[in-house]
Amino acid sequence: MAASYPSSLVTAIRLPARTDNVDPVVAGDINPVYEELIAIEAAVGTNPANYSPRSAGYTTSVATFGGLSERVGNLEQGFITRVVDTVGGSTIQPTGLSTVPLTIRQFSTATVNLLEFKATGGTVVNSISKDGHLATIDGGTA
């Protein structure tokens, strides 16, 4: 019998529990466990803790990856090339001549600023209002 995973989860019917010194254990009880283990390893791939970002770059057009490691590598490549590093020293680089490097979209009923620039102490020094108006450090607007 073929493994249930990854198309479905294993059920107690497929792998019924056995009680020591009560139920006889036969190959038919153990073999499905091996089949499921092999299916899980095939889906996860070898050494998923170590991966390399995709050399071809981040893709959104691939729905199925060769394993968990490849899928995580694709996500990591997406973070590297498309997301701001929250630690600092970040550069947002477009992926092409017609690509907008960063879009910030306001929630439709929001009443707060769309973007704020703060001094070290937390004081807002510049902001962009919910309507897209720039407020400068001296309180002027543009």
64 and 36 both lie in a single domain: no
37 and 56 both lie in a single domain: no
Please tell me which of 30-34, 55-59, 85-89, 134-138 the model is most confident about, judged by mean pLDDT.
30-34
Asked if 48 and 68 touch (Cβ cutoff 8 Å), the reply is: yes
Domain-embedded: residue 99: no
26 and 7 both lie in a single domain: yes
Mean pLDDT, rounded, for 78-96: 62
What sign does the CA torsion over 43, 46, 50, 55 have? negative
Phi then psi for residue 26, to 5 deg, are -125, 170
Domain-embedded: residue 110: yes
Is pLDDT at 46 greater than 80 in this prediction?
Answer: no
Is pLDDT at 106 greater than 50 in this prediction?
Answer: yes
39 and 1 both lie in a single domain: yes
Is pLDDT at 86 greater than 70 in this prediction?
Answer: no
Q: How many domains does the chain divide into?
A: 3
Domain-embedded: residue 109: yes
Placement of tokens 């543009």 in the chain: 142
Alpha carbons 74 and 81: distance in angstroms, whole number: 11
35 and 58 both lie in a single domain: no
Note the Cα 24 to chain centre separation in Å: 45
pTM to 2 decimal places: 0.45
Domain that includes residue 24, residue range: 1-44
The DSSP 8-state label assigned to residue 95 in this structure reads S
Mean pLDDT, rounded, for 82-98: 63
39 and 78 both lie in a single domain: no
Domain-embedded: residue 26: yes
